Amino acid sequence: MAGSGKIIAAVVSILLVVGVVVGAVVVVNNNGSGNNGGELKTSNKAVSAVCQSADDQKLCHDVLTPVNTSNPKDYITQVVKFSTESVLKALNMSDRLMVESVANGTSDGGVKMALDDCKDLLQSAIHELEASGVFVNSQSLPEVFTNSAELKNWLGAVIAYQQSCLDGFDTDGEKHVQGQLQSESLDSVMKLTALALDVVAGVSKVLSELGLNLTNRPVRRLLGLDQYGFPTWLYPHDRKLINEASQGSIVPNAVVAKDGSGQYKTVLEAINAYPKKHQGRWVIYVKAGIYDEYITVDKAKRNIYMYGDGPAKTIITGRKNFAEGVKTMRTATFTTVAEGFIAKGIAFENTAGPGGHQAVALRVMGDRSAFFDCAFRGHQDTLYAHAHRQFYRNCEISGTIDFIFGYASTYIQNSKIIVRKPKANQQNIIVADGTDQKNMPSGVVLHNCQILAEPSLEAENGKVRTFLARPWKAFSRAVFIENTIGGFINKEGYIPWSAAAPNTEHAYFGEFGNIGAGADASGRVKWAKGLISKDEASQFTVDNFLQANSWLHDTGFPFDASFTKN
């Protein structure tokens, strides 16, 4: 395989150059300067083709031209290297700003929290970039582009962390620190990581135009289910595990019970009992009870499967909130940054109420996370889908303002989206997606869900304005497929983020196959995508959006691979 990979890489490099020569001739002729065109080096021609669709073409040329090669892998390695250096610079600067703010007496609790969070987020960004570098260097060229979704997933997370770092400076007194960090380092992180995504997309585009398809998967392939209704990519041992849990016959690694009948009385104790260098699933059973505690599953505790006695019985609760001086990211009752976290039959809630403003019930940052038969209860910012790929099925998600938000690739299926009554003079918005660059793989998809108003909101008879989404960032993306939408949703469907930053130019809010009194898209705002075709909607099925075939089978839960009503 190694030898054939090198041959294919060489062929791709040659084809890339041949294709670029044609493109360069066209560009030169259009510019009327044919004499200079023939003097371009082969590598420069390849760079020109790859950079053609980049948002910042000058930066693209500046970064890639020194590579002096036409091997696409080398281009990706180069831009990942530059991005890593920019993150390290930002990390060092956050340390310096912390020292300076303390020395100058300008540091307060908010600045310290924000800078501490930045450091954690930037460390995570370095981890993502290291994974990207190892992946590119250890794979053959065909493997890199067959699995380019993994690369985009890691790079997209870096931008999520960069943006989250800036989000943490949310008061006027903290803006001077934010401005320094942004102008001197974080802007470079954004530009270079966005460029990395553009380069991956650019090389793929050039190869596609040359007729060389390195991706073995059909573009529109939909995920299949086996004879038992499980995804075809689900590992047999995990299917067995989930079935045993459903039947009550599983033997968990840890049992949590408030009454002392288990090994642990708190969920956090069971999480912390996770053995170092553990392989496989670590199974935690949380018996019925209300667990008032704050929990973080760190990245070392991978592949935890935690299940309860149902969201009406097993409840993890907290009430941290922004109104009391806690940063949004830190208000979460339950946080998981570990890869492969799965939960079933548990409620996660934040009881701060509408007066608490931002108050997160669950924050998920770990890749390949999945939640089944769970409930997420809160008001503003209930579910923080922070980064990476996340799947939710048969869940209840309730809130008021931006209560499904974040930078992740988030898929919510067969669930109830319950809109609650907000404070006086407030309006409700369900989704606030943070996609900030065109080639980020993120967004929110609601498929076959019920979008409902709780009774107290229903009683308002339309006096409270409620919208499906608003664009938190420049390329915000939300898609609604085959949902039942209640008549309490305003006919416009969507609103700008704010007067100062509407973020409407590149927002993508699409709808397909929805029913119900609120599903009529004829009155939607003109800047939204509105109704989309079945072909376009198929890009947002589970497999195409989450690359489910490569991981979701680990959860052991069935799901709808394609459209259910159309």
Three-state DSSP state, 370: strand
DSSP state of 394: S
Three-state DSSP state, 508: strand
Cα–Cα distance measured from residue 198 to residue 200, given in angstroms and rounded to the nearest whole number: 6
Cα–Cα distance measured from residue 490 to residue 40, given in angstroms and rounded to the nearest whole number: 56
In this structure, the dihedral spanned by the alpha carbons of residues 329, 350, 362 and 422, taken in order and rounded to 10 degrees, is: -80
In degrees and rounded to multiples of 5, residue 356 shows phi and psi of: -85, -5
CB contact at 8 A, 461 and 424: no
- Least Cα distance to 151 among 80, 232, 61 occurs for 80
Three-state DSSP state, 241: helix
C-alpha to C-alpha distances, 227 to 84, 230, 310, nearest whole angstrom: 46, 7, 27
> How many helices (H) and strands (E) are present in the chain, helices listed first?
15, 26
- At 21, list the tokens: 């020569």
In this structure, the dihedral spanned by the alpha carbons of residues 266, 271, 272 and 278, taken in order and rounded to 10 degrees, is: 150
Residue 313's Cβ-count burial label (10 Å; 0-12, 13-18, 19+) is: middle
Cα–Cα distance measured from residue 503 to residue 470, given in angstroms and rounded to the nearest whole number: 9
Residue 278's Cβ-count burial label (10 Å; 0-12, 13-18, 19+) is: middle
- Least Cα distance to 82 among 94, 72, 93, 90 occurs for 90
C-alpha to C-alpha distances, 224 to 207, 234, 319, nearest whole angstrom: 28, 11, 41
In this structure, the dihedral spanned by the alpha carbons of residues 355, 357, 360 and 366, taken in order and rounded to 10 degrees, is: 180
Catalytic residue from among 167, 367, 381, 402: 402
| Strands 362-364 vs 314-318: parallel, antiparallel or unpaired | unpaired
Rg of the chain over Cα atoms, rounded to whole angstroms, equals 24
Q: Is 120 a catalytic residue?
A: no
Three-state DSSP state, 487: coil
Catalytic annotation, residues: 402
